[in-house]
Amino acid sequence: MDDLSELESLRVEQLIEMIREKTGAGVNLSFPGKVLARQIGRRVRPRNQRPVKSLSAGDEPARSRNFLIEGDNLQALASLYRERGQIDMILTDPPYNTGEDFRYNDKWDADPNDPDMGEFVGSDDPAKHTKWMKFMYPRLQMMRAMLKSSGVLAICIDSRELFHLGQMLDELFGEENRLAIINWQKTAAPRSDKGGVTTTTEYVLVYAKSLTLAKTASMERTDADNRRYSNPDRDTGGLWREGNLTARTWAESGDFAIQSPFTGKLHYPAGEGAWRHPKRNIKTWLEQWGSEYHEKAIGDGKAKALVLKDEFSAEVAKRARKRLGEPEWPFIWFGRDGEGRPRTKTYLEQIKKGKVPVTYWADDEFEVPEELGSTSWDFEESGRSSDGSSELTAIVGKGHGFTTVKPLKLMMKLIQLWVPDHGIVLDPFAGSGTTGHAVLALNAQSGTERRFILIEQGRPESGDSYAKTLTADRLKRVVNGKWANGKGQAIPGGFTFKVLEKRVDAKTLLLMERDEMIDTVIASHSSTGSRRPAVLIPVGSEDEPYTYLVAKNANNEGIYLVWSGANSNTDLTEAVYEAITEEADAAGLADVYHVYSRRNLLVTDDVIWYQIPDRILSDFGLDVRTESFTEEG
Could you report the per-residue pLDDT of 301-341, keeping only the tens digit for each?
A: 999 999 999 999 999 999 999 999 999 999 999 999 999 99
Q: What is the pLDDT of residue 375?
A: 27
Residues 6 or more apart in contact with residue 270 via CB below 8 angstroms: 244, 246, 341
Residue 38 pLDDT level (bands cut at 50, 70, 90): confident
Percent of the chain with pLDDT over 70: 77
Percent of the chain with pLDDT over 90: 50
Question: For the chain, what are the domain ranges?
Answer: 4-221+358-500, 224-347, 505-619
Pairing between β-strand 593-597 and β-strand 558-561 as defined by DSSP bridges: parallel
| Cβ atoms of residues 572 and 595 within 8 Å | yes
CA 578 and chain centroid, separation = 46
Measured at the CA of 487, the angle between CA 482 and CA 490, to 5 degrees, comes to 45
Write the DSSP string, 514-559. Answer: HHHHHHHHHHH---TT--SPP--EE---SSS--SSEEEE-TTS-EE
- Cβ count within 10 A of residue 439: 32
Looking at per-residue confidence, does 438 or 359 come out higher? 438
DSSP symbol at 471: I
Rg (CA), the chain: 31
| Cβ atoms of residues 408 and 391 within 8 Å | yes
Residue 372 pLDDT level (bands cut at 50, 70, 90): very low
**How far apart are alpha carbons 608 and 529 in whole angstroms?**
11
Residue 367 has pLDDT above 50, yes or no: no
Give the residue-averaged pLDDT of 201-226: 80
| Cβ atoms of residues 549 and 518 within 8 Å | no
Q: What is the pLDDT of residue 630?
A: 61
pLDDT in tens, 98-136: 545 566 656 666 666 666 666 666 666 667 778 888 888
DSSP symbol at 41: H
Q: What is the pLDDT of residue 370?
A: 31
Question: 4-221+358-500: what CATH class?
Answer: alpha beta
The stretches of 220-343 forming alpha helices (DSSP H) are 223-226, 279-287, 314-324
Residues 6 or more apart in contact with residue 529 via CB below 8 angstroms: none
Write the DSSP string, 169-192. Answer: HHHHH-GGGEEEEEEEE--SS---
Q: What is the pLDDT of residue 366?
A: 33
SS (H, E, C) 111-143: CCCCCCCCEECCCCCCCHHHHHHHHHHHHHHHH
| Cβ atoms of residues 184 and 361 within 8 Å | yes
Residue 380 pLDDT level (bands cut at 50, 70, 90): very low
Give the residue-averaged pLDDT of 484-503: 92
Q: Which residues pair with 593 in a beta bridge?
A: 558, 607
Residue 360 has pLDDT above 80, yes or no: no
**How far apart are alpha carbons 62 and 520 in whole angstroms?**
19
Strand segments (E) across 33-86: 47-57, 67-70
**How far apart are alpha carbons 503 and 347 in whole angstroms?**
61
DSSP symbol at 491: -
**How far apart are alpha carbons 73 and 38 in whole angstroms?**
16
Residue 404 has pLDDT above 90, yes or no: no
Pairing between β-strand 593-597 and β-strand 360-361 as defined by DSSP bridges: unpaired
The stretches of 227-348 forming alpha helices (DSSP H) are 279-287, 314-324
- Nearest residue to 254 via CA among 270, 275, 283: 275
Tell me which H or E stretch contains 426: strand 424-427
**How far apart are alpha carbons 142 and 412 in whole angstroms?**
24
Please, how many CA atoms are within 13 Å of residue 546, restricted to the half-sphere of its CB? 24
Looking at per-residue confidence, does 505 or 124 come out higher? 505
- Nearest residue to 361 via CA among 580, 186, 513, 234: 186
Q: Which amino acid is at 568?
A: S
DSSP symbol at 430: -
Residue 236 has pLDDT above 60, yes or no: yes
Least confident of 55-64, 280-289, 404-413: 404-413
Tell me which H or E stretch contains 61: helix 60-63
**How far apart are alpha carbons 137 and 93 in whole angstroms?**
15
- Cβ count within 10 A of residue 222: 13
- Is residue 555 classed exposed, middle or buried when 0-12, 13-18 and 19+ CB atoms within 10 A define those classes? exposed
Least confident of 202-216, 370-384, 400-414, 509-523: 370-384
pLDDT in tens, 178-205: 998 888 877 655 555 555 565 667 889 9
> How many residues appear in the chain?
633
Write the DSSP string, 382-417. Answer: ---HHHHHHHHHHHH-S---------HHHHHHHHHH
pLDDT in tens, 58-105: 999 999 999 999 988 889 999 998 899 999 999 999 886 554 556 665
* CA terminus-to-terminus distance, the chain: 26
| Cβ atoms of residues 533 and 82 within 8 Å | yes
Residue 222 has pLDDT above 70, yes or no: no
**How far apart are alpha carbons 184 and 234 in whole angstroms?**
38
Residue 501 has pLDDT above 70, yes or no: yes
pLDDT in tens, 574-594: 999 999 999 999 999 999 999
- Is residue 232 classed exposed, middle or buried when 0-12, 13-18 and 19+ CB atoms within 10 A define those classes? exposed
Supply φ then ψ for residue 551, to 5 degrees: -165, 170
**How far apart are alpha carbons 491 and 62 in whole angstroms?**
12
Q: Which residues pair with 242 in a beta bridge?
A: 345
DSSP symbol at 585: H
**How far apart are alpha carbons 214 and 67 in whole angstroms?**
25
